[in-house]
Structure 1
Amino acid sequence: MKKKVTLDSIEKRGFTSYEEEVAYVHKQMQDGLLTPMKSSATNDRYPPLYLKYWMTTEEKQDYSDELNHLHYALDPTYYLSHQKEYEKVRSFVLALQQYLSRPHQKGKVSAREGAYEIFGYEKVFDENKHLLAHLGLSLEDLDFYETVEPIAYYTNGLFQNALIVENSSPYFTIRDLLLHHQTTFLGESFDTIIYGAGHRIESTLKEAKLSFLPYDLEKCRFYYCGDIDYEGLSIFDNARKLLPMKPFDAMYRLMLDHATNRKLTLMKEKQTQPSDDVYTCFAPDLRSRMQEVLKSGYYIPQEMINRRDLEDAS
C-alpha cells in the first residue's frame, strides 16, 4: 500500500543535520520504501531532495477469519485483539491446531518432549511463555508436565540439618568437606548441603521436596546463606515463603567480619528489593551491620568466605 508524504513531514523526524536527512531519504529509496514523485519540485539545497514521495507501507493482515476457525480447544479471543502478536506465533498456533486435530497417543510427557512432538523444536514453550495461556490452555490440558533443573545436593543420610547456599562455589566447598567427614561449620552441625541456584530457588525447592521424599521434611532444620545485597536477600525472602528456614547467621557474620576494612564492589543497579520484614529474620546486631553495607551501595559476595575459613572453624 502506498501513500503520499512530503519532505516537510519527513523532516519532522528531527535530523541533526541536512547530511543526515539526505542519508536517511536515500536509504529509504534504496530499500524501496520511498519513491520520489518526479513531477514535484526539488528543494534548493545540495544535494537536492524531492518535495514529495510515495511511501510504501506494510498492509495489515487480518487473521480474524483464521482465528475464528481454530480448533474448538483454542480460544482466539486474545489474539483477535492482538493480531501483531499472533503473526509472531502464528506458525506455532497452526502447528498446535494440527496436533489437536489428529489422533495422538495418550499419556503424560514432559513439556519439552511434547513441544518437540508438536513443533519439531523442544524449547517453544520455554521461549513463548504465554503462548498457551493466550489460547486458554495450560500444559496440564495437553497432558504435559513441567520440568525444572535437577537439584544439586549432598547428604550423608541423616537429613536433619540442611544448609542451602545461593552460589555454586560454597556448595562445592561444603560438599567436599562433608565428603571428608567434617560435619560442623562455624559452630553448627550440618549433614546436608543444597545448591539453591540463585533465582532458581523456587524450582530448586520444588525439586527438593520430591528428591527428599524418603525423609520427613518437617523434622529437618533448614538454614540459608547467600550474597549480602538486595538481590541476595530477595532470594532468601522468596525461599523462606516456600519452605520454613532461618538465615545461617554465623556465615553472614563472618562475611561481614571479612569485609571490614576491605574495598568492596558496588552493588548492581536496579536490584529487586526484599520485603522489609526479611531483616527481622537476622540477629539485631547482624541486621544493623547488613543494612549499613547495603545503604552504602556496596555488596558482599558469599565467596568472601573460602574453604580455609570453614576448615579452621570446624
Structure 2
Amino acid sequence: MSKWKTFIIEFMNIYSKTFVKTVDIEHHLKTLLKQEYDDDGGYFRFSSALKNMVEEEKIQPVKARGHNHQTPPVFNEYRLVKQEKRTNPTHIKKLMTSYPFFNMTAFYDEEEFEKWKFYINRVHAFLTNNSDTKKVMLKANERSFELFRNEKFLLDKEGIKFLANLGLTLSDLNCRRTYEPFVEYRPKPSRKPKTILIIENRDTFDSVKELMMDGVNTWSGITFDMVIYGEGDKIQRSYYFLEEYQLEDYEVYYFGDLDARGIHICSELIKIDNRVKPFTPFYIELLNCYGTEPSTRTLERKLKQTIIDDSLKLFSGFFECNYRDELKKYTKIVQNIQTYIPQEGLNLAILRETGERR
C-alpha cells in the first residue's frame, strides 16, 4: 500500500466521526507531506488514491453527501470499510503460551499484534522481572516514559484502550494518575476541611476568601472551612485533587453562574462525587435580586440541548418546586442568545451582609 494510502487510513482511523470529510483528509496530507504533496502530484494524485481505495474496498464514499466541484471530482465524505480480522490458530496458541497473564483477544489478528508487539513485550517484561522500580509507586507519566519512552502514552486514549485490552489497569503497573492542583483557601490549614465551597469564577472566589479571612464564614447556617476556585470547566479535571487531602467525612457545595454551562459543570461534579450539591441559598439570592432583569449574551460555544436538559434535571432536583420552572429560563438558548445571571451578582457587599461569623 502506498505511503499516501497509509496516511489516509491512519487519519481516518483516528478521526472523531464515522464519516470523514474529504477536505479534512486532504488538509492532513498537505500538513504531513508539505511540499512533497504538490511535488508528487497534488490533488490529482489525491483523487486517484481515493478512487483506488474505493476499488480496493478499503473505504466507501458517502454518496448522500455528493461530490466536490473539483476536477476530477471525488465525494465530499468517505468512511472506512471494516476489515475482517485474520485469525491463525498457530498465532493464537503462541499468544496464549507467551502471554498467559494477559487477555490477548484483541491481538488475535496478526497485523494488530505486530502493531502493538513492542508495547505488549515492554509490559510483559515489567510484570515478570523483579526490578526495583517495579516496587515503587510512580506517577503514570513517569511509568509511561520508563516503559515506552513516551510519557504521555498511558494516559492518552490509545494507552487507556491498550491497557484495557490486556485486562490491566494503572495499578497493575504500580502507578497512578496525578491531578492538577486547584487554588484554595482554608482559615485553619492544619485541620482537615469538613464543609467545602467551590466557586466557579475568580472574583467571587476572592470575595468569599476575603470574608473568610475576616471571620465571615457562614451562610444560611452552613459554615465553610475551605473555599476552592473552580476555574470554570477546569474543576471537572482537578476535582480529584481532593484525594490528596485524604478526607473521610466531608460535604461539598458548588456555586457558579446561573446559565447552561454553570449548571452543567455543577451536574458533572455531582456525577463525579455524590457528596456535591449546589449551594441553593446563593442561587436563590441571585434569582431574588436579578430574576426580573436577567442579562443576555451571544454564545460562541454552546452545549447540545440534550446535555443541557439532562444537567438541568439533576441540578434542579435540589431546589423546591416553585424554583424549578424559573431555572429553565437559564438553560434555553435561542439563536445563540443565552439568558443568564453571573455569580458576580452576589458581590462582596451582598455576601458580607448575608454572611455571619461562627
Unaligned runs of 5+ in 1: 3-14, 16-21, 35-46, 49-59
Answering whether residue 184 of structure 2 is matched by residue 132 of structure 1, we say no
Higher helix share: 2
Q: How does 1:1-314 map to 2 (within 5 A)?
A: 24-27=43-46, 65=91, 68=95, 71-81=99-109, 83=111, 89=116, 91-100=118-127, 102-105=129-132, 106-127=135-156, 128-157=159-188, 159=193, 161-184=195-218, 189-196=223-230, 204=238, 206-211=240-245, 213=247, 217-218=249-250, 221-240=251-270, 242-256=273-287, 257-258=289-290, 260-266=293-299, 268-270=302-304, 272=307, 273-274=310-311, 276-297=313-334, 298-300=338-340, 302-305=342-345, 307-310=347-350, 313=353, 314=355
Which letter maps to 1:174?
V
Q: Structure 1 counterpart of 2:184, which letter?
A: Y
Distance of aligned partners of 1:183 and 1:114 in 2 relative to their CA distance in 1, 3 Å threshold:
same
Does structure 1 conserve the Cα–Cα contact (< 8 Å) formed by 2:87 and 2:109? no
- AA paired with 1:239? L
| Cα distance in structure 1, aligned partners of 2:45 and 2:270 | 60
Give the Cα separation in 1 of the matches to 2:314 and 2:282: 20
1:43-66 superposed Cα distances (whole Å, 9 cap, x missing partner): xxxx99xxxxxxxxxxx9979749
Question: Matched residues in 2 for 1:129 and 1:299: separation?
Answer: 39
The AA in structure 1 aligned to 2:311 is P
Which residue does the alignment assign to 1:42? none
The 3 A distance-change label for structure 1 pair 301 and 94 is farther
The percentage of counterpart residues that share the same residue type is 23
TM-score of the pair, normalised by structure 2: 0.58
CA RMSD of aligned residues (A): 4.4
1:5 maps to what in 2?
Answer: none
Offset of residue 291 of structure 1: 1.0
**Change over 3 Å in CA distance of 1:312–1:202 after alignment to 2:** closer
Contact 1:249 1:286 in 2 (8 A): no
Comparing 95-104 with 60-69, which one deviates more in the overlay?
A: 60-69
Size of the alignment, in residue pairs?
A: 268
SS in 2 for 1:132: helix
1:234-271 Cα shifts (integer Å, max 9, x gaps)? 43334345243442223223444446253334471316
1:68-88: CA deviation from partner (whole Å, max 9, x where unpaired): 27543332211335956x676
Q: Which has the larger radius of gyration?
A: 1
Distance 1:280 1:27 in 2: 54
Against the structure 1 CA distance between its residues 195 and 142, is the aligned structure 2 distance closer, same or farther, given a 3 Å change threshold?
same
Q: Which moved more, 1:286-295 or 1:261-270?
A: 261-270
CA contact 1:254–1:305 (8 Å) conserved in 2: no
Q: Which amino acid is 1:72 matched to?
A: P
Q: Which runs of 5+ in 2 are unaligned?
A: 3-21, 23-40, 54-70, 73-83
Helix, strand or coil at the partner of 1:122: coil
Residue 68 of structure 2 corresponds to which residue in structure 1? none
Query: Equivalents in 2 of 1:182, 1:88: separation in Å?
Result: 60
